[in-house]
Chains A and B, each alone.
Chain A
Amino acid sequence: MNKLTPQKKRKINACVRGGIQLLFFAFMPSAFTTAFAGVKYIFTQVGKSETIEFNSFVKILAVLLVYTIVFGRFFCGYACAFGSLGDAIRAIYIKACGKLKKKPFTIDEKIRKVLAYTKYAVLVIILIVSFKGMNSKLKGTSAWDVFSMLRAGNTKIGEYVVGSVALLSIVIGMAVCERFFCRFLCPMGAVFSFMPVFPPFSLRRKRSECINGCSGCKRVCPSDIELSDTTSIDISGECFQCGKCVDVCPKQNIGRTLLPQSFELCFTIVRAVLLAAVLVWAGL
């Protein structure tokens, strides 16, 4: 493992990540909507003053939240079908730009920072709608619904004009900015970002050993995160656990306190298998 060049290592990691994403996309494409259906269900029940039952939606939501508390937002980075769609579209766009010798479009970092708060507004709006019991009236306005229907092979999306237009604009956004939807709009991501994360399994860096002025990890990060120092337990709720920072650090200075860096790839596979197992157990 140690003999591999950083480039090769990066390539292997990217391939493993792509493979895991593809498998989850093929076999568990509905996990993200199911978990969020759990959130909506809770607010719908409260709006109707009815008891919250531990049904299949809430179970999957609970399982994903507990998993996120332990391992961070690994689900977002490796298993969410919508996130994977975004990664694929971004990859195609970057490749196309390379072929056409054009510079890929980017959104300014300051704007990205502000846009990241939009997802909380999206979450609040959806929760109010659920609370008021107006979900059924807004049928066909969700981009997720249209995406899920297309994925399931149902092409009768003619009735869902609003949802289709929303999906199309999101797809364009996904091309021009990495993890556009996840960072800026995803209401489930907003819920995940409220979760505390178990620090020893999270990525942190020994800041004292960083090269002065190097911000390689931040520049490669799809969420522009400035990683915490190993002494801090404050883990960013925006981290998708993509692990790109680990590969890019010239001093191999980023890691998890409970695991040596050479286990990074094993840990990724273990987390993926574990995630699939708990989701199957929860009845997905």
Chain B
Amino acid sequence: MNRCFIKIINLLLVLGIIFGYNMTLESRAKENEIAKLQAELESSNNQLEKYDEVLKASDNTEGVDGNVESEYKDGVYEGTAKGYGGDITVEITIKGGVMKDLKILSASNEDGAYLAMASAIVKDILKNQSAEVDTVSGATYSSTGIKNAAGKALEKARDN
């Protein structure tokens, strides 16, 4: 009798702690975001003033050349590497020297939940424009597979 109630109370306590923890972190994150945005707003206002001054000072309206020499050649490339239970094949699309897309073509021997977790690495790779990113903890094998496959595909894009 007693044990059952203790278990129920414990369970509710743990759930409460987890929800409370998440809520505290979320409210803290929001506060930080607000502070950050305010700081950004201020600094960009300052910058705008500076730009205005520069514009006034010079009538020079020379366009900025934004074309940076990229090491990747445009095209679609595939790469394969070992994941958890087999090969993972990914496909990257390079456009204008920038990796625009990274698709997982096949990962038949990976477990669904792990692959879902590991797929978080795709965003990181695209953001960094490189396969040299941290693996997803908890889904190390699958995310390492995606990372290595993307690395191989990028190598092809470089060599081409």
Contacts and interface: CB of A to CB of B under 8 A. Distances in A.
* Closest CB pairs A-B (n = 9): A152-B85, A196-B7, A56-B113, A56-B116, A30-B111, A34-B113, A196-B8, A51-B25, A233-B4
Interface string B124-147: 000000000001011110000000
A2 interface: no
Nearest to B14: A194
Contacts of B11: 194-196
A136 interface: yes
Interface in A32-71: 34, 37, 40-42, 44, 46, 49-52, 55-57, 59-60
Contacts of A52: 18, 21-22
Contacts, number: 88
A136 B8 contact: no
27 contacts: A30-B114, A37-B113, A41-B138, A44-B137, A44-B138, A46-B21, A50-B25, A51-B26, A52-B18, A56-B116, A56-B117, A136-B137, A139-B140, A148-B85, A152-B84, A152-B109, A154-B82, A154-B85, A195-B11, A196-B8, A197-B4, A233-B1, A233-B4, A282-B113, A283-B113, A284-B112, A284-B113
B113 A30 contact: yes
Given A51-B22, A52-B22, A136-B137, A194 B10 contact: yes
Nearest to A236: B3
Contacts of B37: none
Contacts of B22: 51-52
A232 B1 contact: yes
A269 B26 CA distance: 43
Contacts of B3: 234
Nearest to A65: B11
Interface residues of A, number: 39
A234 to B, nearest CB: 5
Interface of B: 1-4, 7-8, 10-11, 18, 21-22, 25-26, 29, 82, 84-86, 109, 111-114, 116-117, 135, 137-140
Contacts of B1: 232-234
A136 B140 contact: yes
A34 B114 contact: yes
A283 B3 CA distance: 33
Contacts of B7: 194-196, 237
Contacts of A282: 113
A107 to B, nearest CB: 25
Given A44-B138, A49-B25, A197-B4, 15 more contacts: A30-B113, A34-B111, A37-B114, A41-B138, A44-B137, A51-B26, A52-B18, A56-B114, A152-B86, A196-B7, A196-B8, A235-B4, A237-B7, A284-B111, A284-B113
Interface in A212-244: 232-235, 237
Contact of A154 (B26, B29, B84, B138): B84
Nearest to B8: A196
A57 B85 contact: no
Contacts of B18: 42, 52
Given A139-B140, A154-B84, A60 B4 contact: no
Nearest to A196: B7
Contacts of A257: none
Contact of B84 (A51, A57, A149): A149
B85 A234 contact: no
Nearest to A280: B112
Interface in A1-50: 30, 34, 37, 40-42, 44, 46, 49-50
